[in-house]
Structure 1
């Protein structure tokens, strides 16, 4: 579920750097205002929950706002030429906030699933509650459990907040129902993809290529690319068919992103990516690399040996390299990006929007280089 933080072009959908910076600042300001409101509400009935909201805000700080920017991109793809009406701008900011809150919610739940207490080298919210429990004299297993339990609660609070904000963004619009439905689908798809990822990790045989592509489309591409673009387009008044076509482009880019993420998670440079190159293999995750290599019987045997602790990560990585899994995965990601850009040309999008989609595709394919 994690979508690693990555840098995109400074301008958003062809906006000037100053306008882009104002949009980012507006999203960050709105997030602070929203969380502050929840914190003050909670103080009246639960001081502990008020403190939790403070910690949630810290978890929300420092993101690159990729999803809000994609909401803006979807909006600008179909909005009347450079219409800068204040109510419309406010709705785009709110919808961008909704996706950022959703993203952080899912990351908190993901930390529990992966049993992680650090993210990008920083302690997670779960780590803070674990450390509180340790300081109070709890055993390490009980403290770990307390930390993960707190992360589930915080993720639930953020999930509820994200839905409320998304509903506010679309309120009274002709497409309000479609926006709500799209946001709900983003949540449902992410949950379905996470479940399939979990079940594949329990299987003794790696998932097949098409299964991995479908799982990654659900788990990451949907809430991070597809639905931000789709809901942004609906917010601008695009028809359901137009919004769906833009969403499909986002879906292809999102899967390509995750394929490269899989590559970096095994063959990348941790110093550049901030990603471990062992965790995916150690946890037995089904990635595009394992799916491609599994077409060779000897790789499946190596994976089984790893799961019985009779093989090493080094030997498994060597087997992946021998199967040419990395170049095949990169080629597949390129084909997805090429397909997305071809589809974008068919939509006759504004030139600035097409340029930004091209920038996304380039950045996806050159990550970690």
Structure 2
């Protein structure tokens, strides 16, 4: 878990901004029928309980850069937008991956698949309703995130820059997600660098670079500061996602929120698998992976084969090298000391996620 120091007031104000957006959405959906009201309630449940580290990144960057250029209400509204953006991507990602649960409970698609069954739908119809609900919920959250930035109490020039940051985050994440799916369905080998780029694009910009830059923009920081935060966020975001690949292969259910070895069970073509493919042990690894979907014993055999090939160690080394690059960006920058300390604490928090 990534933990950011923040004044209780900041956390409370961010929660209030998220709550206000959700209440507005629920109110707007009242007149649209019982199904629309159920969707709004499901969106609220999907947005509740997150760690909020993306909006807290916005606030932390602003605070450690001595920001005082915007009203705090505007700051927290923009920060909240990044949480809604994250929830939108998570909801859409669950549809793409055909996941029906998150953290052990039904997600939006799972809720509405059951709703279809309760209404007498067959399996195909229930699945169609679940997917439709997930897609539409993500669409509504994307719109609400953009609306928060568009209406925040901030100067017009600043708003234009922030809207570009949000747009870039959506575009890069969408391209990364599409590339990830293309890699997964490809019949042939996929170049490791292609996999690595998709891994970075899916998460790094919207989760790290854009929130940090948003805080810097609202603090009226100069271009050098914004560029340093962009580069730092890209490296830290890549490391974060690579650790997710390790967790998906080797992490416990308590850590991943899914079944142990879920990525192996689903035959995901992560960078871990790309690294294994380049080893002389690949025939043994490939055979073990082909059986991973059959159950826990086969999962453990695949985990053992990956470790024996050296792929796990190689990925861990890449993670630590990437984190070192992020550290050097910070220590070699002109960022103020409070901001440097906050970023280095982030590196430590991400490092602790390695399974």
TM-score by length of 2: 0.91
The residue aligned with 2:79 is 96
Residue segments in structure 1 that go unaligned for 5+ positions in a row: 1-5, 13-19
Please give the alpha-carbon distance, in whole angstroms, between the structure 2 residues aligned to 1:135 and 1:232.
45
Please give the alpha-carbon distance, in whole angstroms, between the structure 2 residues aligned to 1:234 and 1:247.
12
Q: Secondary structure at the match of 2:152?
A: helix
1:215 pairs with 2:198? yes
Matched residues, number: 352
1:61 pairs with 2:51? no
Please give the alpha-carbon distance, in whole angstroms, between the structure 2 residues aligned to 1:49 and 1:25.
28
Match of 2:183 among 187, 194, 200: 200
The residue aligned with 1:163 is 146
8 Å contact kept, 1:77–1:349: no
Q: 1:207 to 1:293 in 2, by over 3 A?
A: same
The residue aligned with 2:13 is 26
**Range with greater deviation from structure 2 (65-74 or 43-52):** 43-52
CA RMSD of aligned residues (A): 2.4
1:125 pairs with 2:108? yes
Q: 1:123 to 1:211 in 2, by over 3 A?
A: same
Pairing of 1:343-354 with structure 2 (within 5 A): 343-354=329-340
The residue aligned with 2:348 is 362
Match of 1:340 among 298, 321, 326: 326
Match of 2:310 among 321, 324, 335: 324
Please give the alpha-carbon distance, in whole angstroms, between the structure 2 residues aligned to 1:123 and 1:241.
44
TM-score by length of 1: 0.88
Please give the alpha-carbon distance, in whole angstroms, between the structure 1 residues aligned to 2:44 and 2:101.
17
**Range with greater deviation from structure 2 (200-209 or 186-195):** 200-209
Pairing of 1:207-356 with structure 2 (within 5 A): 207-296=190-279, 298-299=281-282, 302-303=285-286, 306=289, 313-356=299-342
The residue aligned with 1:172 is 155
Write the deviation string for residues 125-182 of structure 1: whole angstroms up to 9, x where unpaired: 1111111111111112321221111111111111111111122237534332221111
1:302 CA drift (Å): 4.6
Write the deviation string for residues 293-318 of structure 1: whole angstroms up to 9, x where unpaired: 11125526753785599995454333
1:153 pairs with 2:170? no
Please give the alpha-carbon distance, in whole angstroms, between the structure 2 residues aligned to 1:308 and 1:320.
13
Write the deviation string for residues 247-267 of structure 1: whole angstroms up to 9, x where unpaired: 110110111111111111111
1:21 CA drift (Å): 1.7
Q: 1:182 to 1:310 in 2, by over 3 A?
A: closer
1:184 CA drift (Å): 0.2
**Range with greater deviation from structure 2 (40-49 or 300-309):** 300-309
8 Å contact kept, 2:225–2:334: no
Please give the alpha-carbon distance, in whole angstroms, between the structure 1 residues aligned to 2:179 and 2:193.
13
